[in-house]
Amino acid sequence: MKLLFNSVLSILITFLFYTTLFPQDFQKCGTFLPENLSKMGESCTRPSFNPASSEVQIIQTTNFNIHFITDDLPPLNPNDPPSDKTTWAYAEKVAAAAQEAWYFQINSLGWQAPPGDGTCGGGFNKFDIYIKRVNFYGATQPELQVTGTNGYTSYIIVTTGLIIGGVHTPLTENEIRVTLAHEFNHALQFGYNGTKSIESNSWFFENTATWIEEIQYPEINDWITIFLNNPNAFSPLNRPYLPIDHFGNDYQYNGALFCHMLSRWFGNQFIQNIWQYAANSNNLFLSDINSVLISRNTNLKNALKKYAVWRYYTGSRDDGNHFPKGHLYNSSKILREHITGIGSGSSFPDGLWNRGGTSYITFKNADGVLDINFNGQDTREFSVIALNRRAYFGDTENNLILNSQNDGSIQNLSCIGDDEVVLIPIVTDWQSQLNINSYSYSSNYGQGISTSFWTEKESNNLNGTLTLQRSASTNSGVSKNLANQLDYNVVVNQERFLNVGGKTVKHNRWNQLRDKNFLNQQFRAGNDNNRQSAKYENMEYSRIQSRLEGQLIQDKGTFEFNDPWYVKSDGTQPGNYWITASGVYEPNGKEGATEKGVFLNQGWPGWTPPYYSVKADYLQTFNLSQTGRTHKFYFQGWSASPQGSAEFQNANALETPVVFKQENATVQANYKGTQLSNS
């Protein structure tokens, strides 16, 4: 056995340190507790039960022997004499969960089965599980190294229950299931390699075993609610500055986030690939992970950068593109926030550890463009990402180019409206001894492209307002500095203005671009595109009618009208929105508006979109009070009154584009009826 005494001693010291600082009633996993590690290498020395006079029961499954003693419920009072007794029902749940773990992890995922232990524990090469009263959910005990390999045989201990609120409480069925998934994965891990230094590698044992809980049982969120989101536990979210291989105060469990990132990146098989590689490796897991990443054309340094960015997208910042359950996690800690975009600071008080330590500094509401300067501690290996979070557009990761002294800067970052910048420094060195690293930074207003915004009728300023990137309100005629060659979204806040030269005017387009007819538009900032004008045109009264034998009959004759500029009550503009009416319809351009009218000459000449359209059915059937009977009416075509006041692309088509040529135009859907005589 290659486990050294000083490794066990180091773990013992670490354990005592953390249980003194962070006392708790029980541990999640007892695998790496010193009293269990000390038994490594013992041959077939299996647990005994208390009271010793009790008959040991065994439940056999396809792959397991479940050992336990029972006669009734376990003692409910913690002051009662300690006993390992449990119930048959409890033991059967353990047996079922163990078999589920075997089927999923070995049969489905393809992990290597644990080495057989011969007849030790009873049954030939069946895996043994012992149910005992212990102060942790479960533990996996490695025993003997398998000849010719780095693997070890092992067995599992599962608790009869935990002391919660002073009461001995059996595990719930879900707790049993995730505990067996976790501990059985430890058994598989020891089957690959149990010879690595525990002091330097136990973190990845726990990372992986906790990760498999979520993969096997995605519907159970105990890890998230009890451990990851526990404010008293260390996690990669509430202490992002710690190294990925940190061990203590539950960080080793919460570090499963790293495995979730890797498996989301490369698939679940990737974690197994690391263990397959480690089976024949005497290196640290950090090195093994790097080697497997290199086989995928990347490396651990790149993975640490990605991991830093992914952790930002948690909790309220989850975007659905990173951790599958990121919305259930607490949001990662923000070291510092500069609410006017301008500021400076340092890594204090959260110095970054190497091996993936990171920070998040946010810059908001600069009302323009930001430049950021960074100065990292010399002789350290930093990577720095300026994450530009964009309203309406995808976020962009911008890498700062650092010189040999870890100094660097970046310009042209959008920080207006809901756009913000997140500075993410990462210490990507994973080969050096653990150390704490520092940095400083500052931000300043950038020059950008001065871009003006207008609401205009022809060249007259209507003095409206516009909103840039969701929340930056701008008065007509005001300029903003924008990032060169970056896309932006602008919305004009007034759909119409009343009494402009005696007319109601409505938003028609942006600049001179006919196809930019919505209230919002997207554009790319640049010196050749530095004036954005919301153009308005007069609304001229017009109407559409259904004519039955030349007569307008109230609420008779259905037709549809398509208004590409129409605004619904929720402020949206569908663009291709058909409004159904009967008898008469007076276009108003907006749901609920009282001002009526259309734009003239839209799409003319040449029938270039956008333009209005009309549509009618070929046959309509009505009951007429004049005759007391039901009659069929057949479509005869479209016409305009006065003649020439509107043009149709095809006046004989059921659906056709229409151009209104003058105010007070009436567009008519003409129908001819049958059997209209009263006789």
Average pLDDT over residues 1-14: 35
Rounded CA-CA distance 28/21 in Å is: 17
Q: What's the token pair of residue 378?
A: 């010399």
pLDDT of residue 627: 78
> Minimum mean pLDDT among 34-48, 219-233, 377-391, 404-418: which range?
34-48
Rounded CA-CA distance 461/478 in Å is: 11
Query: Nearest CA to 97 among 169, 16, 34, 158?
Result: 158
Residue pair 86/68 in contact (Cβ under 8 Å)? The answer is yes
| pTM score of the predicted model | 0.88
pLDDT of residue 9: 33
Q: Is 12 helix (H, G, I), strand (E, B) or coil?
A: helix
Average pLDDT, the chain: 92
pLDDT of residue 27: 78
- pLDDT top residue among 555 and 281: 281
Q: What's the token pair of residue 639?
A: 């016409």
Q: What's the token pair of residue 651?
A: 């006046």
pLDDT of residue 80: 59
Does the pLDDT value for residue 604 go beyond 70?
Answer: yes
Query: Nearest CA to 631 among 555, 549, 550?
Result: 549
Residues 6+ apart with CB under 8 A from 576: 562, 564
- Residue 537 backbone phi and psi in degrees, to 5: -135, 160
Q: What's the token pair of residue 464?
A: 């409206």
pLDDT band for position 21 (cuts 50, 70, 90): very low
What tens digit of pLDDT does each residue of 399-455 get?
Answer: 999 999 999 999 999 999 999 999 999 999 999 988 999 999 999 999 999 999 999
Instruction: Give me Rg for the CA atoms of the chain.
Output: 36
pLDDT of residue 118: 86
Does the pLDDT value for residue 18 go beyond 80?
Answer: no
> Minimum mean pLDDT among 37-51, 255-269, 399-413: which range?
37-51
Spell 54-87 as b/e; 16+ CB within 10 A means b. eeeebbebebbbbbbbbeeebbeeeeeeebbbbb
Average pLDDT over residues 204-210: 98
Does the pLDDT value for residue 172 go beyond 80?
Answer: yes
Residue pair 256/246 in contact (Cβ under 8 Å)? The answer is no
Average pLDDT over residues 2-10: 35
pLDDT of residue 628: 80
Average pLDDT over residues 175-187: 98
Q: Angle of helix 300-312 relative to helix 285-294, nearest 10 degrees?
A: 100
Distances (CA, A) of 602 to 343, 538, 612, 666: 50, 12, 8, 16
What tens digit of pLDDT does each residue of 132-163 get?
Answer: 999 999 999 999 999 999 999 999 999 999 98
Does the pLDDT value for residue 19 go beyond 60?
Answer: no
Mean pLDDT is highest, among 37-51, 71-85, 254-268, for 254-268
pLDDT of residue 79: 54
pLDDT of residue 3: 38
Residue pair 329/442 in contact (Cβ under 8 Å)? The answer is no
- pLDDT top residue among 268 and 78: 268
Q: Which domains does the chain have, with CATH numbers?
A: 25-196 (3.40.30), 327-436 (2.60.120), 449-537 (2.60.40), 542-673 (no CATH)
